[in-house]
Amino acid sequence: MDMGSLLFIFGATGDLATKKILPALQQWYGEEMPFARIWCLGRRSLDKQSYCRLVEEKGGFLLTDPLRARIDYHRLEFDDPWAYADLRDRCDTEPAVDGRRLFFLAVKPEAFVTVATRLQQAGLFIGGEPNHRLLFEKPFGESRTSAEEIQARLMTLAVEEQVYRIDHYLGKDMIRNLLAIRFANRIFAESWHGRAIETVEITSIETAGAEERFEYYDRAGAINDMVQSHLLQMLALVAMAAPDNFEAEPIRRRKIDVLQHVGLDPDRPPVLGQYRGYGPEGIASQTETYVEAAFRVDTGQWPDTVFLLKTGKKMGEKRTEIRLRYRASSMCLNCTEKVTAAANELVIEVYPQEGVLFRFNSKVPGYGYALEPVLAHYCHSCRVDGYKPEAYVKLLKDALAGDKTLFASFAELLVQWRIADRIRGAARGRGPVVYEPGTMIVGGEGGMGC
């Protein structure tokens, strides 16, 4: 148990802080008390009590006494040096702590360098001090060019070892379980290649729209918000070769290796869509709320396999999964009779239920040899009593411990931005297809469906 570290949350009145980070801390505080103080930093004029009420109203939960006792609120404009000096003075009145400081920047990418600069100028963050760590919520930039600019400026303030780029999907328990399923089961490990697998579909769709996040979302779009980060990270975990071991660097190298070989399928142009009624009335926008893109992975492991990435808002259901469809086979009964077998499927379910579904073929009961597909289903989330493991708990624990396995390196981000820019380039000149809220297929006959 660690009660001597400090956590600073920038953007503490926003949805991410109130609906994700603080609830995750509450879950963590049910196990231990990791931080001596949690400094919640925002632009609103609030005291601690009014801030806690705001968290409970927006987050839809009640703060427990142990967590509430460690929360403090400090009003701060991101570019106001005096506000940082006041924060430093307030921190100096704290009892002796162990020196570890996590700075969680749940803010827009254009504020990353400003906040880091002011933290250093105030003496709150020291470049090169391994116990001082900057956590950046995605997206890291708005394009490859802006990501490179942010990185170059940050490296004048910090070293790479102090930078933790968050993709919260990597903290999800079932995404982490993917490596165990792949490499700890011979039945899958020896058939995890393109000669056996015809398609890999990675889907993350939701019923909600962009209403509450319109200002951010209209600038980012589905490509930056979902494809560039979450979906490409999942693709990398599926398609990468086996690492030498499961420490951070070997996994990171394998992900970078495979992402460098990912290219758009020339026979299946990407489809961008926008749900009808997107945005406030009177605002015309070309921002995509739906993306489907087909890729090829140009490595010896994946000949002729198509990787399909799909994400969208205002769809008919909320679901995240990885679906591997194996190549169909047949069963030769004798010299003249052959029975066609349905394609096997392996589904890694991430949301709403976490688990694994495996579709295989079995003989229909009786005297003949007719085949039928049957299902084997493992429910991972059903195994958990009480709270399910929360992604942000895992990520905060790892950041506090200095473990960067589940955090994206800058080299990964650059390759992911290259792929995202290629999707955008391939769709340039074509406006998004308008689709009706609640649909499951976008783009007519060309759409892949969900």
How many alpha carbons fall within 13 Å on the CB side of residue 113? 13
Residues 57 and 423: beta-carbon distance below 8 Å: no
Angstrom distance (rounded) from CA 319 to CA 239: 21
Active site residue 380: no
Nearest C-alpha neighbor of 344 from the set 191, 235, 202, 237: 191
128 backbone dihedrals φ, ψ, rounded to 5°: 90, -10
Indicate the residue type of 399.
A
Question: 97 Cβ partners below 8 Å, 6+ apart?
Answer: 4, 5, 6, 36
Angstrom distance (rounded) from CA 222 to CA 162: 29
CB atoms within 10 A of CB 246: 12
Question: Across the strands, what pairs with 357?
Answer: 347, 377
Pairing of strands 35-42, 5-10: parallel
Residues 63 and 56: beta-carbon distance below 8 Å: yes
Report the Cα–Cα distance between both ends of the chain, in Å, rounded.
Answer: 44
238 backbone dihedrals φ, ψ, rounded to 5°: -75, -45
Kindly provide the residue ranges of all beta strands, DSSP E only, lying in 266-415, ordered along the sequence.
271-275, 290-297, 306-312, 319-326, 329-332, 338-341, 345-351, 355-363, 371-379
Angstrom distance (rounded) from CA 304 to CA 355: 28
Strand, coil or helix: 325: strand
- Among candidate residues 193, 230, 377, 380, the one labeled active-site is 230
Residues 211 and 314: beta-carbon distance below 8 Å: no
Angstrom distance (rounded) from CA 170 to CA 233: 8
> DSSP class of residue 229?
I
Residues 314 and 434: beta-carbon distance below 8 Å: no
Indicate the residue type of 53.
R
> Residue 413: which H helix or E strand, with range?
helix 410-426
The residues annotated with a catalytic role in the active site are 230
